[in-house]
Amino acid sequence: MIKFRRQLLIMFILVGINLGISKGSEIPVTVTDPVYGFLRRMETRAMLSAYNDAVLPLSRSYIAACLQQIQQHEPSLSTLERKILKEFLADYRMELTEQRHPDLDSYQSVAHPFQNWSVFNKRLFAIFDRKPEQEAKHLVVFEEGKNFIWADFAALVRSETKNNATRVVNADQYFLQGDWARHFAYAMYAARYRRSWNPAFDDKFLEERNTWGMYQPDSLYTYDLNFTALIYYNTFLKLGLYNQPVLWGYSQQHNLILSANPPVFPYIGMQAQIKSIRFSFLHADLLNDSTQFRSAPAAVRNRSKYLAVQRVDIPFWRGKLWLGYSGMVVYGDRNKELAYLIPVNFFWITGHVQQDRDNSLMAFDCKVKLFPNATLYGTILFDELRFSELGRHWWANKYGLQGGVRWATNLFTLPINLNCEFTAVRPWVYTHKTLTTNYTNNSFCLGFPYGANAQVFFIEGNAYLTSRLNFALSYSHIRQGCDENGTYYGGDVTINYEQRDHLYDHATKWLMGPIRTTRRIYGRLDYELFNDSHLTSELMIIDSSFKHKRTCDTFLTLGLQIDI
């Protein structure tokens, strides 16, 4: 008995020691960071194995480990790929080396531009620095061992044109990130946007569409963005409070599970990993579909709505094949349900125990690398299904399918990436009985950006022209079924399925109602003018046909963001 107690004590001590060890910071890297495109390319080219990007954002430590793995294959990389890799490695100096930040002297722990006039001049001219392989600069740096705090400021100015109408956007942006004792990480991004008002150009781009804004007396329209994360972590577990964009699934643009389409929501997040098996969980507060309508009574606008999502990812064949399962549930009109706060749980069974009041969905997806320079992926999402009705046109066969391939090669010396994808979502997918159970946040679909009753063919190519210049071009062919004359065909995810026309209960096909066809061409050129300061140009052409009527709009954007 004494020997058993001694062994038990030793085991707890070893576990405690192990829990205190971490490879690096768990600060999340925002889903729009260009490092993800590079990692996908390296995975496709077999320079990166067992890469799990089914749940974004990833942490700095995970990305740093991936870059380190790629570095081992450096002789197999092209000259330009090596340059790009070295640029990213420099930004992850904290996780990969014992070196101090270049702005810190050997005796300093704090650096900022207001230390003295000489430092101010040096930092001022550093804004226009173009030296290669330089770590991202920070306005204020505090580093003491592996404890650090970085504070940053950036300014943005952008000209946007729709056909012949023009408006100007400017913003001030603030960043704060840090890590303490290799157990606590914090990240914050806040921005104040202002744009001129033009009645001929009132379209909202993605960053604005997912926010709440207001008109000012001086003919300005203002809106804000705020992303935050507060995380406790150890070797096996990560637990945090978040308010940031998330992507669940393998598609870059059109995730069926969780996409960049809805407004950002706050959530409790947990992630656990044993070897390469990863379990992810979040429980979020959402806004119900009536929240955006000021005319709605406060009691309706304030009706509670929640989201719980769980996911497990399992690798096979040394990471050449990834299989994933996701379970999702949306519920509301009551307090947080403790049963949905338990991460390891079968949500669809729990929903039955809760008297089947909630909207439960599940998804299975995979990513496989079978051929050189190619990665295949696919997703099937089930909202509701009756096996006896499979292959028929029953309305509640609510599911979506997605398949895609990524291909990476070199054209002469230029790294080229191609992505081809097709998605089809049946009518009434994501919908439910009430505005607090539809799979939405403030009326925006949480999953597929085009909602239900839609099919999208998407192809994209991008190229690294230099280590500072990146070009992307994509084409989307979108077909959507639309409602008409008070008849709902299941394409609007805010329309409860109890409002359907029962004449179609056994005659619901993949696309229902009048079909709107949209062809979207999008091009983007990003040039790093100075270190961490980018000059961007975007061109988007949207050609739409509906009921023998055709419209075509051209959008042109020119922007400059300067990090100070």
Helices of type H across 20-105: 35-44, 60-71, 79-91, 93-96
- Surface-to-core class of residue 272, CB atoms within 10 Å of its CB (0-12 exposed, 13-18 middle, 19+ buried): middle
Q: What is the pLDDT of residues 526-559, one digit of tens each?
A: 999 998 899 999 999 999 999 989 999 999 999 9
Q: Is the pLDDT of residue 359 over 80?
A: yes
Average confidence (pLDDT) over 218-233: 91
pLDDT on residue 426: 96
Backbone angles phi, psi at 93, to 5 degrees: -55, -40
Q: At 17, is the pLDDT very low, low, confident or very high (cuts 50, 70, 90)? A: very low
Percent of the chain as helix, strand, coil, to the nearest 5: 15, 45, 40
**Residue 102 CB neighbour total at 10 angstroms:** 13
Q: At 23, is the pLDDT very low, low, confident or very high (cuts 50, 70, 90)? A: low
**Residue 496 CB neighbour total at 10 angstroms:** 18
Structure tokens at 351: 């929903």
Q: At 22, is the pLDDT very low, low, confident or very high (cuts 50, 70, 90)? A: very low
Average confidence (pLDDT) over 119-124: 83
Cα angle: 204, vertex 206, 207; to 5 degrees: 100
Mean pLDDT of all residues belonging to the chain: 89
pLDDT on residue 9: 38
Q: At 288, is the pLDDT very low, low, confident or very high (cuts 50, 70, 90)? A: very high
Q: Are 256 and 400 in contact (CB under 8 A)?
A: yes
pLDDT on residue 212: 80
Task: For domain 18-563, say whether CATH 2.40.10.10 is its number.
Answer: no
CA–CA separation, 162 vs 272, rounded Å? Answer: 46
pTM: 0.90
Q: Is the pLDDT of residue 15 over 50?
A: no
**Residue 3 CB neighbour total at 10 angstroms:** 7
Residues pairing with 215 in the sheet: 221
Percent of the chain with pLDDT over 90: 66
pLDDT on residue 384: 83
Backbone angles phi, psi at 212, to 5 degrees: -110, 130
Q: What is the pLDDT of residues 230-285, one digit of tens each?
A: 999 988 899 999 999 999 999 988 999 999 999 999 999 999 988 889 999 999 99
Q: Is the pLDDT of residue 331 over 80?
A: yes
Which one has a higher pLDDT value, 50 or 447? 447
